[in-house]
């Protein structure tokens, strides 16, 4: 299966692509599933746990650099990624799993977490794991680049397979956000797909920080910093976004705000500028935004002077916005927002 072609975005997020065993000869289903799910889930070994014919399906698409998947299983089974299988692939992705129906048991790092309907967790796609579904079950799965969800001060091994309730706190917020994104995928335009992906990833990151076992003072500072990043990300289009405004939204002083950003090795003003420039670069490379001028893109990301934008852009990326568009003429590069997901798919093909 050529995963890269399937995971390319058009102007709107594509409909889910499907893989199903329903039309496959019963004796071939196990091999079919192992082969045709590997591009997305990595190399797995399937163990059937009943005499019923294996029957399962999944559908998938991507938004920005995240991959969204819905999986349904109709018979008891277990999938395993062993250490010799997992390590050579070395994928820098984590999986967020929402149990939407039934139950499952996920095991990793010597920890076993049973998930019931309405609960969710994450695990490391790079390390060995197993997932057991003892009866009919449905899962919503989100593949997120590791660097978008793992705080610098946190150890992913300490965070995997913590169970989140989907009915309260940040867990509820994440559940609603991911579920709503799934439902609205056909309406998400490519010009906003990376913004949606960033918000989903950042909120998942906050949820992990919320249950981190780090020392309370450090955890509190990290959590506040990530909340500030989420606020900044959602207000980049506001040309009046200021440190005072951010501090007010975070309910802290400007002095404390500067302090919690010390570990970033960048000032808050420079962080805001960097984020705006990164978003503009993504927009300029997005074939779905060919009809928008460079000035329109700059203004939509909070710049109010096109000359200032061009100078900052060239100083940061070593190329002017106009040169970047000319260099990518014909848009053969595709949508850069899908690059991470495409690399993920190619590494598992």
Question: What's the whole-number mean pLDDT along residues 240-246?
Answer: 91
> What is the tens place of the pLDDT at every residue in 115-127?
999 999 888 888 8
Q: Which residue in the block uniquely carries the two structure tokens 């991911």?
A: 178
pLDDT of residue 155: 65
Task: For residue 127, count other CB atoms closer than 10 A to its CB.
Answer: 15
| Neighbouring residues of 79: CB distance < 8 A, sequence distance ≥ 6 | 41, 44, 45, 46, 47, 130, 131
Residue pair 33/56 in contact (Cβ under 8 Å)? The answer is yes
What 310-313 contacts at long range (C-beta under 8 Å, 24+ apart), as own/partner pairs, is 312/273, 312/277, 313/277, 313/280, 313/281
User: What average pLDDT does the segment 99-119 reach?
Assistant: 91
Give the residue-averaged pLDDT of 266-285: 90
Domain 218-337: give its CATH architecture.
Answer: Orthogonal Bundle (1.10)
Tokens representing residue 229 in the block? 């990043």
Using one digit for the tens of pLDDT, what is the confidence trace for 43-86?
A: 899 999 888 999 999 999 888 788 899 999 999 999 999 866 66
Token representation of residue 339: 């690059």
> Which range, of 6-15, 41-50, 77-86, 234-243, averages the lowest pLDDT?
6-15
Per-residue pLDDT at 91:
55
Q: What's the token pair of residue 184?
A: 């609205």
Query: Given a cut of 80, is residue 209 above it in pLDDT?
Result: no
Return mean pLDDT, the chain. 80
Which token pair is 104?
């499952």
Q: Which residue has the higher pLDDT, 246 or 158?
A: 246
Distance of alpha carbon 188 from alpha carbon 30, whole angstroms: 35
Least confident of 43-52, 112-121, 188-197, 234-243: 188-197
**Rounded mean pLDDT of 213-224?**
56
> What pLDDT is stored for residue 263 in this prediction?
79
**Counting Cβ atoms within 10 Å, is residue 342 exposed (0-12), middle (13-18) or buried (19+)?**
buried
Domain extent listing, the chain: 3-163, 218-337
Query: Residue 55, SS3?
Result: coil
Written as one string, the DSSP assignment of 57-99 is EEEEEEETTEEEEEEEE-S-EEEEE-HHHHHHH---EEEEEEE
Q: Which among 62, 69, 67 has a CA at the least distance from the CA of 91?
A: 67
User: So what CATH class is 3-163?
Assistant: mainly beta
Q: Which tokens belong to 234? A: 């959602």
**What's the confidence (pLDDT) of residue 220?**
66
pLDDT at 317: 93
The answer to whether 115 touches 162, Cβ cutoff 8 Å, is no
Question: Residue 34: how many CB atoms within 10 A of its CB?
Answer: 15
Q: Check residue 84 and give its pLDDT.
A: 66
């Amino acid at each position: 299966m050529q995963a890269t072609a399937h995971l390319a975005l058009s102007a709107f997020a594509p409909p889910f692509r499907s893989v199903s065993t329903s039309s496959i000869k019963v004796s071939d289903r196990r091999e079919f599933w192992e082969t045709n799910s590997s591009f997305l889930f990595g190399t797995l070994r399937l163990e059937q746990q009943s005499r019923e014919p294996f029957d399962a399906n999944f559908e998938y698409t991507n938004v920005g650099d995240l991959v969204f998947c819905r999986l349904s299983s109709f018979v008891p089974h277990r999938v395993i990624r062993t250490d010799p299988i997992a390590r050579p692939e070395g994928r820098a992705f984590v999986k967020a799993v929402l149990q939407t129906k039934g139950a499952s048991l996920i095991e990793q790092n010597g920890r076993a977490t049973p998930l019931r309907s309405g609960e969710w967790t994450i695990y490391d796609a790079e390390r060995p794991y197993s997932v057991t579904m003892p009866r009919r079950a449905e899962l919503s799965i989100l593949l997120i680049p590791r660097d978008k969800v793992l705080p610098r001060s946190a150890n992913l091994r300490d965070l995997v397979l913590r169970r989140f309730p989907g009915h309260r706190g940040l867990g509820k917020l994440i559940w609603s956000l991911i579920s709503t994104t799934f439902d609205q995928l056909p309406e998400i335009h490519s010009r906003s797909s990376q913004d949606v992906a960033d918000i989903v990833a950042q909120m998942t990151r906050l949820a992990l920080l919320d249950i981190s076992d780090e020392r309370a003072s450090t955890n509190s500072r990290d959590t506040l910093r990530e909340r500030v990043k989420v606020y900044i990300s959602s207000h980049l289009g506001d040309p009046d976004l200021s440190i005072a405004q951010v501090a007010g939204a975070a309910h802290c002083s400007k002095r404390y705000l500067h302090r919690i950003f010390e570990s970033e090795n960048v000032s808050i003003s420079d962080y805001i500028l960097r984020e705006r420039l990164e978003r503009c670069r993504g927009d300029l490379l997005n074939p779905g935004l060919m009809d928008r001028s460079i000035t329109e893109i700059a203004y939509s990301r909070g710049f109010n002077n096109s000359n200032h934008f061009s100078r900052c852009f060239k100083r940061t990326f070593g190329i002017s916005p106009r040169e970047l568009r000319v260099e990518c003429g014909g848009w053969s590069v595709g949508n850069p927002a899908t690059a991470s997901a495409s690399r993920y798919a190619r590494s598992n093909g």
